[in-house]
Amino acid sequence: MESEPMGRRGAFVRAGLVRAGLVRAGAERAGLVRVRLVRVGAVGAAGVLLAGCASMPDHGDIRPVEASQGVDSQVRVFGVPPADKASAAEIVDGFLEAMTSDDPQLETARKYLTEEAAKNWKPGSAVTVLSAGLDRFSVGGKDPAGPRFKVTGAKLATVDERSAYQPESGGQYEEFLQLTQEDKQWRISTPPTHLVLSESDFQRIYMPVNKYYFAGGTLVADPVYVRQRSDPDSRMDPTTQTVQSLLAGPSKWLGPVVESSFPTGTELREGTKSLSYDGENTLRVPLNDKAANVAQPQCQKMATQLLYTVKDLTASRLDRVELLRSDGKSSLCAVSEIAAAAIANRPRTPDFQYYVDKDSRMVRIKLDVASEEQQYRPEQVPGPLAGAAQFKVGSTAVSYDERRAAVVSEDRHGLYVVSLVGAGAMPQPVPVGKAGRPKQLTAPSWDAAGDLWIADQDPQGPGLWRVPGGTGTPEKVEVAGLDGRQITSLKASSDGVRVALLLERGGGRKELFVGRIERPDGKGDSSAVTVRELRPAAPQMADVTAMSWAPRGRLLVVGRESGGVMQARYMLADGSMVAASLPGATGLTSVAVAATEDEAKPKPVLAHTLDDGIVWLPPGAQWRAAAAGGRAPAYPG
């Protein structure tokens, strides 16, 4: 088998060249023309760009190229049809490149296929994502059907037919492409079943969005990926793709613990390819007859799912969603943003930030991101802790209503649930862990249902524990897939259906996983709660130091990539990385983020560093010191 790595065969043409109307026809070899639309003040700038483009061909006729109107900061990639009498290797290279095209129907990629293969090729929404590009190998030997090529690559993830991302680090992608001659031209007769893209091409073509479902009475974010432009198969725009994905149901991973308010079989009205807003910031969504007879309360929940899904997707203001019957005119129901907020049952905006001060007391503080000049005046939390001067606090967690705190003693042996309102004596410790043995408790965490979660690191009896309602009998929770790793830190999501676990096998390396919290009846029953299907939440990071849930189903993760420096990045719970990162993360040992976004009064990120104690980060600013000697920062949750 002869190895031949596939090179990038595309030419890069920037806006200066396009506006000058100049590109050499020699660029039309089997490859791509990549166009980045950027502002260029004068045609003279094109000469500078041309001089720096060593790969531009220096021969061939000059022909005009139509420039796109307006300015677009994204790279646009357009496939180039196969050249006449192209070799079999060039056909394979050109097809693999054309799969990354922004051509909405992948029409150029189909030109590399036989007539029958082009007609039947339907890659759909499923995608194989590779960490880098593909290598292609010519399979030796004479094949009477024609040349055969093997394409391989390091698999990073897959995106399934429901648009859900699933990390698959360490896997290997392998596919065979058979070529045959058609009208004396080589063409591919066996194309890949799904699209195959490098990570960079995937991030350029697809964007992450959240669709929303209910777990009990709480709205839950379900992250998926849709194309940033029209989908090749459905021809729907991104908003319509996302709505159609919402109607199709939750991802397979989240499906067992959430439910949709839409009746089974509900789809968009036939022929709907685009959804738009009217002048009153209202989105009208026509549905088929499956939703024709729903009751108003159910319809309101349907509209709420839609409002939050589309609101997460677009920067446009959305005040109202109206669901229409299949005639596209008569209304089923409508919900405003204010009404949807009440139906969604999301955690309230916190009043305070919390931490443990240098004297091992639990204190609270108000950090106002709108104020440049502040006097930070922490106060000891009210309730039994205020009167327990000798009690040393190690870590804390505050319930979402901010009326109770779960406190772990400084020696990590005892867990206490104390009131933050009124007075009284310190309660007895909660009996978690193995009876009769000293505990090694992690920091606790509350979920929105009021359940308390904590892990015991006792080598003789490690495990994850749940205290129903914060006052019930502690129950050990089965965690499928731990595989001998120990839980060193945990954080339950505010929606109560996911838990983030920082796991360590040995040697000090920690990895972040997210597990699905399953309750027998799906409605918060206290019996036999389990955690299932652990999946990597930060596969790109070689070591994770700290993490916290953030709004809209994201995680703020502190860690380092292999050979890299410490960084703090927002990541989706499915393990895919979001571009946003925090500055100056090298010294962070723990972080805390408010579970609910408040656009009017945004809450800062809270963190701990060994040098500065408690620090905080207002949006768009730099880190500020808040409390020297402080540690264990916390928001409710």
User: How many Cα atoms within 13 Å fall on the side-chain side of residue 143?
Assistant: 13
| Cα dihedral 603, 246, 226, 286 sign | negative
In this structure, the answer to whether residues 489 and 388 fall within a common structural domain is: yes
In order of 304, 338, 356, 522, the CA distances from 214 in angstroms are: 10, 18, 35, 11
pTM of the model: 0.84
Q: Do the beta carbons of residue 465 and residue 458 sit within 8 Å?
A: no
Rg (C-alpha) for the chain, rounded Å, is 28
pLDDT along the chain (637 residues), means of 10: 37 27 28 33 31 31 28 63 95 93 85 96 87 84 80 93 87 93 95 91 91 94 90 80 95 96 96 85 95 96 97 82 94 96 91 96 87 72 91 97 97 96 92 87 94 94 94 95 94 95 89 94 64 93 94 93 88 86 88 87 92 91 92 97
In this structure, the answer to whether residues 304 and 363 fall within a common structural domain is: no
In the three-class reduction of DSSP (H, G, I as helix; E, B as strand; rest coil), residue 88 is classed as helix
The single residue listed with the structure tokens 């997210």 is: 514
Helices (H), 70-131: 88-98, 107-110, 115-120
Q: Is residue 510 part of a domain?
A: yes
Give the pLDDT score at 104.
67
**534-547 burial, b for 16+ CB within 10 Å, e for fewer?**
bbbbbbbbebbbbb
Give the pLDDT score at 64.
27
Q: Do the beta carbons of residue 305 and residue 212 sit within 8 Å?
A: yes
Give the pLDDT score at 77.
78
Q: Do the beta carbons of residue 457 and residue 473 sit within 8 Å?
A: no
In this structure, the answer to whether residues 173 and 248 fall within a common structural domain is: no
Q: Is residue 546 part of a domain?
A: yes
**Boundary (domain end) residue, out of 151, 176, 205:** 205
In this structure, the answer to whether residues 157 and 16 fall within a common structural domain is: yes
In this structure, the answer to whether residues 548 and 578 fall within a common structural domain is: yes
In this structure, the answer to whether residues 170 and 237 fall within a common structural domain is: no
Give the pLDDT score at 372.
56
Distance in angstroms (rounded) separating the CA atoms of residues 16 and 42: 8
**At 517, which helix (H) or strand (E)?**
strand 510-518
In order of 10, 12, 57, the CA distances from 91 in angstroms are: 14, 20, 20
In whole angstroms, what separates CA 439 from the centre of its chain? 35
Distance in angstroms (rounded) separating the CA atoms of residues 54 and 118: 35
Q: For residue 571, give the nearest of 600, 602, 549 by alpha carbon.
A: 549
Q: Is residue 551 part of a domain?
A: yes
**Total count of domains within the chain:** 3
In this structure, the answer to whether residues 117 and 39 fall within a common structural domain is: yes
In the three-class reduction of DSSP (H, G, I as helix; E, B as strand; rest coil), residue 117 is classed as helix
In the three-class reduction of DSSP (H, G, I as helix; E, B as strand; rest coil), residue 565 is classed as coil
Distance in angstroms (rounded) separating the CA atoms of residues 91 and 618: 52
**Boundary (domain end) residue, out of 140, 172, 205:** 205
**Boundary (domain end) residue, out of 205, 234, 253:** 205
Which two structure tokens, joined as six digits, stand for 186? Answer: 């080589």
In this structure, the answer to whether residues 165 and 236 fall within a common structural domain is: no
The single residue listed with the structure tokens 């979402």 is: 400
Distance in angstroms (rounded) separating the CA atoms of residues 477 and 462: 11
- Give the chain's count of helices (H) and strands (E): 10, 40
Q: For residue 150, give the nearest of 159, 140, 142, 158 by alpha carbon.
A: 140
Give the pLDDT score at 51.
32
In this structure, the answer to whether residues 196 and 55 fall within a common structural domain is: yes
Residue type, 376: Y
In order of 365, 400, 451, 603, 611, the CA distances from 608 in angstroms are: 15, 21, 26, 16, 9
Give the pLDDT score at 375.
58
99 phi, psi to nearest 5 deg = -65, -25
Q: Is residue 320 part of a domain?
A: yes
In the three-class reduction of DSSP (H, G, I as helix; E, B as strand; rest coil), residue 163 is classed as coil
In this structure, the answer to whether residues 30 and 149 fall within a common structural domain is: yes
In whole angstroms, what separates CA 382 from the centre of its chain? 38
Which two structure tokens, joined as six digits, stand for 478? Answer: 């089965």
Q: Is residue 624 part of a domain?
A: yes
Residue type, 270: E
Q: Do the beta carbons of residue 146 and residue 206 sit within 8 Å?
A: no
Distance in angstroms (rounded) separating the CA atoms of residues 313 and 370: 27
Q: Do the beta carbons of residue 466 and residue 450 sit within 8 Å?
A: no
Q: What is the DSSP letter of 469?
A: G
Give the pLDDT score at 87.
95
Q: Is residue 210 part of a domain?
A: no
Strands, E assignment, 426-509 = 445-446, 452-456, 463-467, 475-479, 486-492, 498-504
In this structure, the answer to whether residues 273 and 401 fall within a common structural domain is: no
**At 498, which helix (H) or strand (E)?**
strand 498-504
Output helix, strand, coil percentages for the chain, rounded to the nearest 5: 15, 35, 50
Q: Is residue 455 part of a domain?
A: yes
Residue 268's domain spans which residues? 215-344
In this structure, the answer to whether residues 396 and 545 fall within a common structural domain is: yes
